[in-house]
Amino acid sequence: MATHEQLESTSSRPALDPTTSKDVASSTTQKAKSAQAGVAPTTIHIGTRKSALAMIQTDMVLKALKKAHPADQYEYEVHAMSTMGDKNQITALHNFGAKSLWTHELEAGLLEGRLDIIVHSLKDMPTQLPPKCTIGCIMEREDPRDAVVMKASLNYKSLAELPAGSVVGTSSVRRSAQVKRKYPHLKFKDVRGNVGTRLSKLDAEDGEYACLILAAAGLIRMDLGGRITQYLDSKTTGGGLLHAVGQGALGIEIREGDEKILDVLRPLVDHDSTLAGTAERSLMRTLEGGCSVPIGVETTWIEKGKMLMKAIVVSLDGTESVEAERLDEILTTKDADEFGWRLAQDLVEKGASKILDAINLNRQVIAEGGGA
């Protein structure tokens, strides 16, 4: 497998480069190994973005793969790339067309056969993947909730304690629009960059933010869970918040119909997380009509096979919202897909289209905050 130094050594390359010295090096190792074992191991090429969180998540996948296939029949090579989205930190997110910005270059590598799998935060995957690309695996979900991280020098813990005019850092309209409804006296400001950058902006002595709202999952995976001062979910006293579709789950993208890779990934699939992810993505796909919108969800299992899903669509300024929830038996991905579609219809019947049309008219595309 590729070591950290090897990954770092790829960092100066602008994008996916098929002819890396790493490939040559690994084919030598492969030869040496196959000489011993008599069978050449298959190399699985893993694509990922290069942010710290993306690298940690890729490492989790790598560990899970090695555990699932202890017999040395596979070798793994990680190809870390900075995507266009990572490089273009200056242009406001909503000026970009779509979420696919984050993944386009990796998908090109997948389709050209230079990569076999791409590790993503499921949340960052567009609901419509490019032709011939598909989700091969959704792994067990980490805590899907959003969380408040208070500036280190402040003694507050929760949003409710913040004085009027305090600045909450988030680039996600889903988050700001929902929180604004409950805390109209707070101010909201974009905060860009990866999780580490955002935290240093928060803690800077002359920094303008009192707190950030981030996905708990990312913080926990980066060993920063200790910074969380409040978890936000539908039950949070004083201001519930529904999380992003797919938040906290890892999605592995593959070439459609790649049975070999599906076999490799099968042991990593988490059944319940797959059903929840499928239902949430179906809801989003039904509502968005080609454009991302501030949709929050919360999916819980009331008992084995019984899914409760809450969803909210919020106007950009947080003044209007439509909420719905559904409870049903969900045993297969087909059930999950239909369930998400039904809940989307419920939202539309309650008037979600008015909010969605206004957003589409605005031609604003709401991204989930960028830079994992």
Active-site residues, by number, are 124
- Is the CB of 9 or the CB of 197 nearer to ligand PBG? 197
Residue of the chain from 22, 123, 174, 310 that contacts ligand PBG (CB under 6 A) = 123
Which strand ranges, in their side-by-side order, compose the sheet holding 295-303?
295-303, 306-314, 321-329
Residue of the chain from 101, 150, 214, 355 that contacts ligand PBG (CB under 6 A) = 214
Binding range to ligand PBG, per CB under 6 A, among 17-25, 26-34, 116-124, 273-281: 116-124
- Is the CB of 34 or the CB of 88 nearer to ligand PBG? 88
Q: What angle, 0 to 180 degrees and rounded to 10, lies between the N-to-C axes of helices 352-361 and 333-349?
A: 90
Q: What is the C-alpha to C-alpha distance for residues 177 and 315, in angstroms, rounded to an integer?
A: 7
Residue of the chain from 77, 86, 116, 368 that contacts ligand PBG (CB under 6 A) = 368
Q: What is the C-alpha to C-alpha distance for residues 146 and 204, in angstroms, rounded to an integer?
A: 22
Residues forming a β-bridge with 254: 134
When asked if residue 369 is in the footprint of ligand PBG (CB under 6 A), the reply is: yes
Q: For residues 181-200, which are near ligand PBG according to CB under 6 A?
A: 195
The DSSP-derived string for 295-313 is EEEEEEEEETTEEEEEEEE
When asked if residue 61 is in the footprint of ligand PBG (CB under 6 A), the reply is: no
When asked if residue 372 is in the footprint of ligand PBG (CB under 6 A), the reply is: yes
Residue that the structure tokens 């909010």 belong to:
355
- Is the CB of 65 or the CB of 232 nearer to ligand PBG? 232
Closest CA to 64 of 296, 269, 335: 269
When asked if residue 85 is in the footprint of ligand PBG (CB under 6 A), the reply is: no
Q: For residues 220-249, which are near ligand PBG according to CB under 6 A?
A: 247-248
What does the block give as tokens for 204? 């800077």
Q: For residues 157-176, which are near ligand PBG according to CB under 6 A?
A: none
Closest CA to 366 of 294, 317, 296: 294
Residue that the structure tokens 């201001």 belong to:
239
| 170: CB partners within 8 A, 6+ apart | 176, 179, 188, 189, 190, 191, 212, 213, 214, 369
Q: For residues 299-328, which are near ligand PBG according to CB under 6 A?
A: none
When asked if residue 121 is in the footprint of ligand PBG (CB under 6 A), the reply is: yes
- Is the CB of 75 or the CB of 124 nearer to ligand PBG? 124
Residues found near ligand PBG in the complex (CB under 6 A) = 121, 123-124, 195, 214-215, 217-218, 247-248, 368-370, 372
